[in-house]
């Protein structure tokens, strides 16, 4: 569980859009946190943002846990949507907590891109192939993050992929606890 002292003074506080500013804030707070002894509490409230930056934060958390042996705990407050799920996937389920009535949103990665096919056929073919490679690469990265997210839970990767292929999955705190996606509700 999370101590009252950590609840009063979380080690790392992230809120808002997952973007370059959040990453910079995370890196600055993490620099201070790694020198402290004891449990590190990362609290997060976000409506989403850049999935790649979410993955970057999760990667740093996994390295800090696995290579530096740090005890890092996650607390989602209010909402953890989209790219915030990527951050949450950097924690093992037994180290994930949500506040009461916190909502999770899990969905497929999204891309908004306009292709203008004009000119020589080889040039257009290369543009289409590059875009397909970008989509395939993003799907592989998405799958890896989802593997981390469901590892050790009652949700299978196939179930998750099926759910999000049909629509966004809004997961309540109670359902997340029931499916062992989190360890507890505060």
For residue 43, give Cα distances in angstroms to 78, 105, 174. Answer: 10, 16, 19
d(CA 6, CA 111): 38
Tokens matching residue 144: 């890896």
pLDDT value for 39: 94
pLDDT value for 110: 67
The CATH architecture assigned to 4-185 reads: Alpha-Beta Complex (3.90)
pLDDT value for 181: 97
Q: Which residues of the chain fall below pLDDT 70?
A: 109-111
Contact by Cβ (8 Å): 46, 16: yes
pLDDT value for 151: 94
pLDDT value for 111: 63
Residue 159: how many CB atoms within 10 A of its CB? 13
**Is the entire prediction scored with pTM above 0.85?**
yes
pLDDT value for 140: 81
Tokens matching residue 101: 């009535």
């Amino acid at each position: 569980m999370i101590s009252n002292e950590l609840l009063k003074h979380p080690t790392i506080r992230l809120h808002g859009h997952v973007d370059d500013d959040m990453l910079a804030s995370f890196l600055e707070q993490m620099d201070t946190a790694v020198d402290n002894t004891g449990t590190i509490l990362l609290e997060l409230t976000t409506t989403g943002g850049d999935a790649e930056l979410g993955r970057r934060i999760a990667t740093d958390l996994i390295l800090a846990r696995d290579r530096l042996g740090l005890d890092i705990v996650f607390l989602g407050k209010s909402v953890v949507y989209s790219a915030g799920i990527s951050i949450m996937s950097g924690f093992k389920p037994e180290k994930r907590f949500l506040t009461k009535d916190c909502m999770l949103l899990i969905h497929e990665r999204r891309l908004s891109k306009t292709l203008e096919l004009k000119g020589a056929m080889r040039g257009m073919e290369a543009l289409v192939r590059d875009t397909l490679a970008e989509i395939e690469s993003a799907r592989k990265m998405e799958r890896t993050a989802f593997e981390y997210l469901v590892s050790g839970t009652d949700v299978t990767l196939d179930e998750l992929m099926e759910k999000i292929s049909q629509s966004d999955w809004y997961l309540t705190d109670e359902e997340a606890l029931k499916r062992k996606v989190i360890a507890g509700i505060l």
